[in-house]
Amino acid sequence: MGLSGRLFLLTVAFVVLAEILVFVPLLASYRLSRLSDRVAAAQVAALVLRAAPEGNVSDDLARRLLAELGARAVAVRDGEAWRLLSVEPMPETVAETVDLREQDWTGAIRGAFRTLLFPADTPIRAVGNGRSGVGAVEVLVDEGPLRERLIAFALRLLAACAVIATLAAGLVFFVLQRTIVRPVLRLARNIAAFADDPERPDRPAACAPRTDEIGQAEAALARMEVALGGELRQKRRLAELGLSVSKINHELRNLLTTAQLLGDRFESVADPVVQRVAPRLVATLDRAIRFCEATLAYGRATEPSAQRRMVPLAPLLDELTDLGGLMPAAGVQVSVRAPDDLEIDVDPEQLLRALTNLVRNAVQAHAAARTQGAHVEIEGAREGARGSGRVTILVSDNGPGVPPRARANLFAAFQGSTRPGGTGLGLAIASELVRLNGGTLCLDETPSGARFRIVVPDRAAQAKAA
- In angstroms, rounded to a whole number, what is the distance separating the alpha carbons of residues 256 and 356? 19
CB 449 within 8 A of CB 398: yes
Number of residues that make up the chain: 466
Question: Over 70: is that where the pLDDT of 252 sits?
Answer: no
- In angstroms, rounded to a whole number, what is the distance separating the alpha carbons of residues 284 and 215? 60
How is 67-129 classified by DSSP, letter by letter?
Answer: HHHT-SEEEEEETTEEEEEESSPPPS--SEEEETTS--HHHHHHHHHHHHHS--SSPEEEEEE
- Residues 453-466 have pLDDT tens digits of 999 998 877 777 76
299 pLDDT band, cuts 50/70/90, is: very low
Question: Over 90: is that where the pLDDT of 85 sits?
Answer: no
How is 202-218 classified by DSSP, letter by letter?
Answer: T-----S---SHHHHHH
Range in 20-24, 153-157, 268-272 with the lowest mean pLDDT: 268-272
Mean pLDDT over the full length of the chain = 78
* Percentage of the chain lying above the pLDDT 90 cut: 12
Q: Which residues contact 342 (CB under 8 A, 6 or more apart)?
A: 312, 313, 314, 380, 381, 382, 391
What's at 75, amino acid-wise? A
- In angstroms, rounded to a whole number, what is the distance separating the alpha carbons of residues 194 and 333? 54
Please give the distance of CA 342 from its chain centroid, rounded to a whole number: 53
Q: What is the pLDDT of residue 72?
A: 80
What is the number of other CB atoms lying within 10 angstroms of the CB of residue 173?
A: 19
- Residues 38-62 have pLDDT tens digits of 888 777 776 666 666 555 666 676 7
CB 62 within 8 A of CB 85: yes
Q: What is the pLDDT of residue 298?
A: 46
